[in-house]
Amino acid sequence: MIRSVTSLAWIATIVLLGARVGQAAEPRRVISLDGIWQVAEGAMNQQPANFDHTVPVPGLLDMADPKFDSPGVTVAEAERRKPWTRPADPKREAFWYRRTFKVNGALPEVARLKINKACYGTQVTLNGHVLGEHMPNFTPGWFNARPYLKGDGAANELIVRVGASTAQQPPYLADGWDSEKSRYIPGIYDSVELILSGAPHVVNVQTVPDVEHAKVRAVVELDRDAAGPIKAFVREAKSGRTVGETTVAAGGSSKVDLTVAIEQAHPWSPEDPFLYELFIDTGGDVCKTRFGLRTFTTDPESGRAVLNGRPYFMRGSNVCILRFFEDDTRENLPWDPEWVRALFRRFKQMHWNSLRFCIGFPPELWYRIADEEGMLIQDEFPIWYGGRWPKGVDADHLAIEYTEWMRDHWNHPCVVIWDAQNESHRDGATAGAIAKVRSLDLSNRPWDNGYGAQQQPGDFAEMHPYRSGRRPRGKPFSLSIFLKETGVPNNGARHAKPPYIINEYGWLWVNRDGSLPTLTRDFYHVTLGDDATIDQRRLCYARMLAAMTEFWRTRRKCAGVLEFCGLGYSRPDGQTSDHWIDVKNLIFEPHFAEYVSDAFAPVGLSLEFWDEPLTVGEKRSIKVIAINDLYDDWTGAVRLRLWQGDKVVFEATKPLTIPAIGTAEQVFEITAPPTPGDYTWEAALIGEGQAPVRSLRDAKITALSDS
């Protein structure tokens, strides 16, 4: 269905703005061009004569009706380790999208078309005239539609060409290479909008929240010099209550810097995701920008993240959206706002307050929902070249893509870390690009340079302590390895200094159906044997991942601990997997949900027993380390039990107070039971009116003659 969308709520807002700060400008109109488009395949330089398929926008071209033959080039196993290879689709060079639409009424002075994201490379034609190209795959393309746009209800024809594969990409652009991906599916995978307004037109707004002084600075970019006043007001997004306003003189400039004080200011955090809206009226355009009153930085001395002026511990996981795009269960889920919102809420039930968008950006609606639901995002640009680097991708070209990325995401309170790349050691291009663009972000968020060097104090050092993946092949893995760990993960970024962030660890993956990815087959073969059941694998995964999580969190050496992976692919020849057994209905594997959620609890603990030998009658001191991520002291008790099957053979309880943002310890003196066998230690935090938070370790108690 073709329609022109003008929000009644937006018109009401403009009327309100006019009543508050003078005569209102003509309302900005945003016409959504999302929906069902026609599409055809063909060559790059020849528009098809017929468009005999349809496809949703946003979406991917494997969603076309009728289906195309194998859209999205498939990368063979032998090619996956060659990041300089950009394989071509043998069946076509390009896909051509087509739709018609109408603009009712007379045309205003400005009409800009925004294609939020599309792969691989975009060319736009409107009513037979080429508007231009935007070749980057992961940032918005903007096009001036005004010269060829028709108003007064006349039909407009819009044609968008995208490359069929990364082979259509210029060599100097990042292509999203991922050595674990098997398919690179093209398509317009984010929304398309036509933005209409008078002049001066607001091109971009950067909000710079100031929590300490309860105000927001806004740097407003206009499409031309403005002589008249620029008016602004801030209102609460949910209530609509106006909480601040100002008017400044443009002074004949195309950039205006203004500040609005906020009454009864309310900071944004994952625990309280309070949002504001900033309205800018130029006299010809009224632009709305949503923001949160949130600051985020780091303290290199303590190694901690600092949210709104206070230490904050990041707990979470990863979303690999470009891997999920090739997953068999994907369907339209990434573009279903109800499913995405439910996904974030499911993540928060795991006590996660942070996510890394790993090796690629999801559609824009994910960021809006992260703002609303309260989730900190480490936003990672899709670069993963390891120790190799493709020719042509240099600092100058990357800086252009980084700039587009930052300008599109910098008002989202959820985005707290700019992540330049993943696990790439040859970091000259990313380091150079960071230096060129860092000053653009007036909020001065910290950067992460993957396995490259930190670029200035306060930037994150990225760590991936895959301890179970580094054991000698054929040798079983034991948690006893953590007896030698200091709590500082000693792999990842070169010459690393605090703050550290662990955003991958585990190496224990099990596919959703219980089969094994390629990277963990040897682990489970040695650890459990080939006759292990699916449930035994899943239980092993959950318990070991929980123990690793507890270790890294309780050492307090890292600003964040983010496991891998909350959402990705699951396929027979895949290297990793996520934790779902039903992605569509968001059902986690039950053992994972039970044990790993406790490991990420804000008030959590670690039972310090790491596969150590224990004999009957042996006396031992067992320590429990407890942590508190909250800003209030926690008071309760810690209980230690020893289970043999479903029978408790030892139990002791001690009082415990954990200071705010602090740690506490209790030591239990135990005597091993007289009967050899398999046992389980369980430590639990017991708080009034709270469910117990548990830490468990398996123990084999041997006879004296066996020791």
Please check whether residue 577 is in contact with residue 570, taking contact to mean a CB–CB distance below 8 angstroms.
yes
Beta-carbon neighbour count of residue 209 at 10 Å? 25
Q: Which fold has domain 33-197?
A: Jelly Rolls (2.60.120)
Q: Which part of the chain is CATH 2.60.40.10?
A: 202-291, 605-706
Q: Which among 509, 523, 513, 433 is positioned nearest to 473, based on CA atoms?
A: 523
Residue-level pLDDT at 307: 98
Find the helix or strand (DSSP H, E) in which 614 lies. Answer: strand 614-615
Q: Which part of the chain is CATH 3.20.20.80?
A: 296-600
Residue-level pLDDT at 706: 59
Residue-level pLDDT at 76: 76
Determine the 3-state secondary structure of 468 from DSSP.
helix
pTM: 0.95
Edge-to-edge strand ranges of the sheet holding 122-126: 53-57, 35-42, 94-102, 155-163, 122-126, 129-134
Distance separating alpha carbons of residues 308 and 50, to the nearest angstrom = 56
Q: Which among 488, 493, 528 is positioned nearest to 508, based on CA atoms?
A: 528
DSSP state of 495: T
Enumerate the H helices of 660-699 as residue ranges: none
Bridge pairing between strands 122-126 and 202-210? unpaired
Question: Which amino acid is residue 285, in one-letter code?
Answer: D
Distance separating alpha carbons of residues 281 and 289, to the nearest angstrom = 12
Residue-level pLDDT at 687: 96
pLDDT along the chain (707 residues), means of 10: 36 43 63 98 97 98 97 78 80 98 97 98 98 98 98 98 95 93 96 98 98 98 95 98 97 96 98 98 97 98 98 98 97 98 98 98 98 98 91 95 98 98 92 98 98 96 92 86 93 89 97 97 94 97 98 98 98 95 98 98 98 94 98 98 96 98 98 96 96 97 78
Residue-level pLDDT at 357: 98
Please check whether residue 57 is in contact with residue 33, taking contact to mean a CB–CB distance below 8 angstroms.
yes
Bridge pairing between strands 304-307 and 619-628? unpaired
Distance separating alpha carbons of residues 23 and 557, to the nearest angstrom = 56
Find the helix or strand (DSSP H, E) in which 543 lies. Answer: helix 534-554
Please check whether residue 557 is in contact with residue 302, taking contact to mean a CB–CB distance below 8 angstroms.
no
Residue-level pLDDT at 23: 43
Domain 605-706 classification at class level: mainly beta
Distance separating alpha carbons of residues 312 and 535, to the nearest angstrom = 36
Q: Which among 77, 58, 57, 83 is positioned nearest to 382, based on CA atoms?
A: 83
Residue-level pLDDT at 704: 83
Domain 296-600 classification at class level: alpha beta
What is 202-291's CATH number?
Answer: 2.60.40.10
User: Look-up: residue for tokens 């301890």?
Assistant: 467
* Residue 346 backbone dihedrals phi, psi, to 5 degrees: -65, -40
Please check whether residue 512 is in contact with residue 534, taking contact to mean a CB–CB distance below 8 angstroms.
no
DSSP secondary structure of 195-258: EEE-SS-EEEEEEEEETTTTEEEEEEEEEEEE-SEEEEEEEETTT--EEEEEEEE-TTEEEEEE
Q: Which part of the chain is CATH 2.60.120.260?
A: 33-197
Residue-level pLDDT at 25: 46
